[in-house]
Chains A and B, each alone.
Chain A
Amino acid sequence: MNPEPLFRIRNLKVEYNGRGTIFHIPHLDILSIDRVAVMGPNGSGKTTFLKTLNGLLEVPSGTIFYKGAPLRVHRRKLTQEVTYVHQHPYLFRGSVYRNLLVGLHSATLTLKEKERHIQITLERLGLSGYEERDTRELSGGEAYRVALARALVREPQVLLIDEPTAQADQEAKRIITETLQQVARKGNTTLIFATHDENLCKDLDVRILRLEEFSLCRY
């Protein structure tokens, strides 16, 4: 028996003023075990698509169901279970540790457990020893990995990532790819990410959603 889709998208159409239809998804189901790469040229609506799934943008036209109910019904659940990482993420003032602690603000863990959890996550992303670093001193690639760590530390059910390797050098790319592979193997998190990186798609063995022509295929 097929599992209940996590997201059911019906007739989702995004239009920008004066530019016509940006993309149109007539029918798409995303399962909880899925890994989906959203691809397309710049301006094809990849970020809009991810933000819409997270409820950061209103569903413009059509319907998106999350766990069987329309997104607007699940607003609270969405913020608890779905996390989005910006292409150019926003890090709060203060240390890397404080940023990750915000990610864990609602977790029912002791401070010691939270600290351990944060350390493990930073280690996974090659950021050991960065705990006390001021976020304003980080490079773009480091900031991205901190934002990814902040999202991962929450262990979300759905992780929406915008261009995970766009700002990364070779080493950071390897670390990010390995981390996402681990997340995918663990199987608790549905991965949906926007990317131009064909290698990342190959390494993660994803389904590819091409927005400009609406086609869905396996890599």
Chain B
Amino acid sequence: MKPIQTAIELILSGNREIFFTVGTSLSFSFFSTILAGFMGLSIATILTLCRFPLRRFLISLITSLMAVPTVVVGLVVYSLLSRSGPLGSLGWLYTPYAVIIGQSIFALPIVISYLWTGFSKLDLRFFETIHTLGCSFSTKCFLTWRESQTVLTNALLSSFGRVLSEVGISMMLGGNIRWYTRTMTTAIALETNRGEYEQALALGILLLLLSIGINTLTFRISAQGGRT
């Protein structure tokens, strides 16, 4: 029980390093979710409103990409950003940029899949109505998003939750640099290896609380969306 007690004390004392790490995790996850959100929203809307060859194949491919392990995404982005890679000259490896790019790529299929599924569940009459009212493509997009506010929020929250708890990308692309790219998950891995269980446990508790918070919020929004 001693390590748990110490971990709680660490949290309650407002340990600067712990909360800096939490802040880093949250900001990385926020920016990567926003980036994936913008790209995902565009792609999911096109997949919903447009009919073109290979559309079905593309949807199943994106859905399959949801299962790609984070280390594989990390490896691909690493090979692009490493000094000998095509984007090596940017010097972004082991910087927040690299982590955010990696996490965005990881989150993109999740966002697209959630949004596409949500958009597809809209009433058939909705699609017929925007067609028969002669809406332009931009109006169709706007109306689709307006009618799917709950879906949009859920997709972003779910992706935020997934990105927040991933470790492979942050470790490979951020390098776990203290006061710079160290996130909650990479710190937990490091502190456990070093035998500093209290620090790892404190971060674990905070990560768990954040995940529960996000899931609760997602659930409440879904329930509200279902009622309206």
List the A side residues contacting B133 at CB < 8 Å. Answer: 79, 83, 102-103, 105, 150-151, 154
> Is the CB–CB distance between B134 and A86 below 8 Å?
no
Instruction: Indicate whether A5 reaches chain B with its CB closer than 8 angstroms.
Output: no
User: What residue in chain A is nearest B124 (Cβ atoms)?
Assistant: A90
| Total A-B pairs, Cβ < 8 A | 53
A55-112: which have CB < 8 Å to B?
55-56, 79-80, 82-84, 86, 88-90, 92-94, 102-103, 105-106
> Is the CB–CB distance between B136 and A105 below 8 Å?
yes
List the B side residues contacting A218 at CB < 8 Å. Answer: none
Which of B134, B139, B143, B147: most chain A CB closer than 10 A? B134
Q: Is the interface of B mostly helix, strand, loop or mixed?
A: helix
Number of interface residues of A (CB under 8 A): 24
Chain B contact patch, size range? 10 to 19
> Is the CB–CB distance between B134 and A79 below 8 Å?
yes
> Is the CB–CB distance between A102 and B135 below 8 Å?
yes
List the B side residues contacting A151 at CB < 8 Å. Answer: 133
Interface string of A121-158 (1 = CB under 8 A from B): 00000000000000010000000000000110010000
User: What residue in chain B is nearest A77 (Cβ atoms)?
Assistant: B134
Partner of A90, one of B126, B139, B146: B126
> What CA separation (Å) do A147 and B83 show in the bound complex?
61
> Is the CB–CB distance between B125 and A86 below 8 Å?
yes
> What CA separation (Å) do A188 and B122 show in the bound complex?
34
Partner of A79, one of B125, B131, B143: B131
In the complex, 25 of the A-B residue pairs with CB atoms within 8 angstroms, ordered by the A residue number, are A51-B128, A54-B132, A56-B131, A56-B132, A80-B134, A83-B132, A83-B133, A84-B132, A86-B125, A86-B128, A86-B129, A90-B126, A90-B129, A92-B143, A102-B133, A102-B143, A103-B133, A105-B133, A105-B139, A106-B134, A106-B135, A136-B228, A150-B133, A154-B133, A154-B134
Shortest Cβ-Cβ A-B pairs, 6 listed:
A90-B125, A79-B134, A84-B132, A90-B129, A80-B134, A90-B126
- Residues of A at under 8 Å CB distance from B? 51, 54-56, 79-80, 82-84, 86, 88-90, 92-94, 102-103, 105-106, 136, 150-151, 154
